[in-house]
Structure 1
Amino acid sequence: MSTKVTFWPSGKAIEVKPGTSLLTAARKAGVLIQTRCGGNAACFMCKVQVRPGSDLMPIADDERRKLAGLDEQGCRLACQAKARGLVEVDVPLDPLRAAVQKLLAKQAEESDDLW
């Protein structure tokens, strides 16, 4: 038995064994999810948004405490959340990529203003 995890906005999907963490699934799919702690739920960098209807194993008390209520809004730590069935996850842009995209958009806007 396997489970399918799809990562957005890339749309990359991968089949994994039930119980595989979202972080492990992302790495196998070639999707970058930032982490500093090596997947020990210490850095909070791997926070992702799980889409409604996704089938994950129940959240552990440690992860729930670290998320401090964000789990009720669909946020999970990719290093701790384990897939059980079909799962869809929104992965935020890493901060450097987001800053570069913002700068490029601003430059394009300024360039348009010159014409």
Structure 2
Amino acid sequence: MGVHITFMPNGKTIEVRPGTTILDASRRVRVQIRTRCGGNASCLMCKVLVPAPSAAGLTPLNQNERLKLGGLQEQGYRLACQAKVIGNVTVTLPEDPLKAAVRKQLEMQREDES
């Protein structure tokens, strides 16, 4: 029997076997999570936000993930390549930094035009 993982903000949900990493689940449902290291917890690009109630659907942080996050886990962040799904969970993908910068620039231009 599988567990469900939902990716926000796009709302895509997939059923996976317990023990599947968030990164593997995202690839199966075609939700892009940026990574440069191929899932080895060395690039830190695959950070995702897991709200407190959903965090129970993931395995506890391992030592490697705890060291890499350096306290960000207190804000609900996990590494998609390390966190494994063990129950139903909702994961929020942070906005890509480049897209965020472009969005902010466009907003500033719109304000200037007003």
Per the TM superposition, whether the score is higher than 0.5 is yes
Contact 1:51 1:87 in 2 (8 A): no
Q: Sequence identity, in percent? A: 56
Give 1:32's aligned residue.
Answer: 32
Distance 1:99 1:72 in 2: 25
Q: Residue deviations 1:10-69, cap 9 Å, x none?
A: 111111111111111111122111111111000111111111222101221111111122
Distance 1:82 1:37 in 2: 18
Which consecutive residues of structure 1, in runs of 5 or more, have no partner in the other structure? none
Q: Residue deviations 1:61-84, cap 9 Å, x none?
A: 111111122222211000100001
Aligned-residue RMSD, C-alpha? 1.3
Distance 1:109 1:9 in 2: 26
Query: SS in structure 2 opposite 1:53?
Result: helix
Where does 1:48-63 land on structure 2 (aligned, <5 Å)?
A: 48-54=48-54, 55-63=57-65
Query: SS in structure 2 opposite 1:88?
Result: strand
Distance 2:12 2:106 in 1: 25
Where does 1:10-89 land on structure 2 (aligned, <5 Å)?
A: 10-54=10-54, 55-89=57-91
- Structure 1 window deviating more from structure 2 (74-83 vs 101-110): it is 101-110
Query: SS in structure 2 opposite 1:76?
Result: strand
Query: SS in structure 1 opposite 2:13?
Result: strand
* TM-score, scaled to structure 2: 0.90
In our comparison, the structure showing a higher alpha carbon Rg is: 1
* TM-score, scaled to structure 1: 0.89
Which consecutive residues of structure 2, in runs of 5 or more, have no partner in the other structure? none
2:31 maps to a residue whose letter is V
Give 1:5's aligned residue.
Answer: 5
